[in-house]
Structure 1
């Protein structure tokens, strides 16, 4: 990871939040926010730039999927992970297909696996952001190239002579 990331963990069990927060205590590039309330989670997301959210599926206020639906609508680029003690295949498929869940992790989890999953998800997010930035840069450069090609037809056509030297032939107006 190359930059600071904010993650948000939502679970109605404080012990789960404490355990996950402890996992990332020694990682200087990860800020871990926690809450027991899905409604509070939405408030945190409105005030902090959250890169990744981990949520329990079964909570009193709303389910993890309901929370992630709202998150997806407002913050489509946030990486989403569901952490639950219940392996309901219908819920899993619905979450993957409707909301674009990055991963579904069952409780109890393996600390190293959870840590690695979150780190890889954040690295994937960085890759997506870099790709988006490169696509924007490419569009700008294509527009510049198009401008010059229109002004000087053939300028973008590279030619190589028999010695391997690159040259450009321009037809100059007299």
Structure 2
């Protein structure tokens, strides 16, 4: 039996998905999605423990995605990933997205160091 927690990562930037995957893959069962609408479809088909979503994406922002995710998976932890430092964004994320955590980009993680060394400037 696989007891790893299931995480859905949603970001329209493929390199960010690969970076997050390389950081988290050893400890979690991961699925990645570049399109927030496709992520919602996946949330209706599978159960996840955590959803990590970027804030700025075409078609739907991460707060809207996490808000809708709460409706279909209310017990799932919701994490917003963003470089936006605007307090209004954070307040909206807490109120509408019911986020469990907020991760500011860029971040430091020793496990990601080999990937970050090759990260485009």
TM-score, normalised via structure 1 length: 0.59
- Equivalent residue, structure 2, for 1:48: 46
Q: CA RMSD in A?
A: 2.0
Q: Does 1:23 align with 2:23?
A: yes
Q: 1:8 aligns to what?
A: 8
* Post-superposition offset of 1:113: 9.5
The alignment of Structure 1 onto Structure 2 pairs a total of residues equal to 111
Question: Match of 1:97?
Answer: 95
SS of corresponding position for 1:45: helix
Distance 1:31 1:13 in 2: 20
Moved more, 89-98 or 56-65: 89-98
Structure with bigger gyration radius: 1
The Cα of 1:104 is off from its aligned counterpart by 1.0
Query: Is structure 2 residue 81 aligned with structure 1 residue 83?
Result: yes
Q: After superposition, give the CA deviation of every residue in 1:115-174 in whole Å (9 maximum; x if it has no partner).
A: xxxxxxxxxxxxxxxxxxxxxxxxxxxxxxxxxxxxxxxxxxxxxxxxxxxxxxxxxxxx
Equivalent in the alignment of 2:118: none
Q: In structure 2, the residue corresponding to 1:96 is in which secondary structure?
A: helix
Higher relative contact order (CA 8 A, sep 6+): 2
Partners of 2:3 and 2:29 lie apart in 1 by 11
Structure 2 unaligned residues grouped into runs of 5+: 113-121
Q: CA 1:111/1:65 → structure 2, altered by over 3 Å: closer, same or farther?
A: same
* Structure 1 unpaired stretches of 5+: 115-174
Whether the 8 Å CA contact 2:43–2:72 is kept in 1: the answer is: no
Moved over 4 A (4+): none
- In structure 1, how many angstroms separate the alpha carbons of the residues matched to 2:57 and 2:97? 18
- Greater helix content: 1
Give the alignment's TM-score, normalised by structure 2.
Answer: 0.83
1:70 Cα shift?
Answer: 0.7
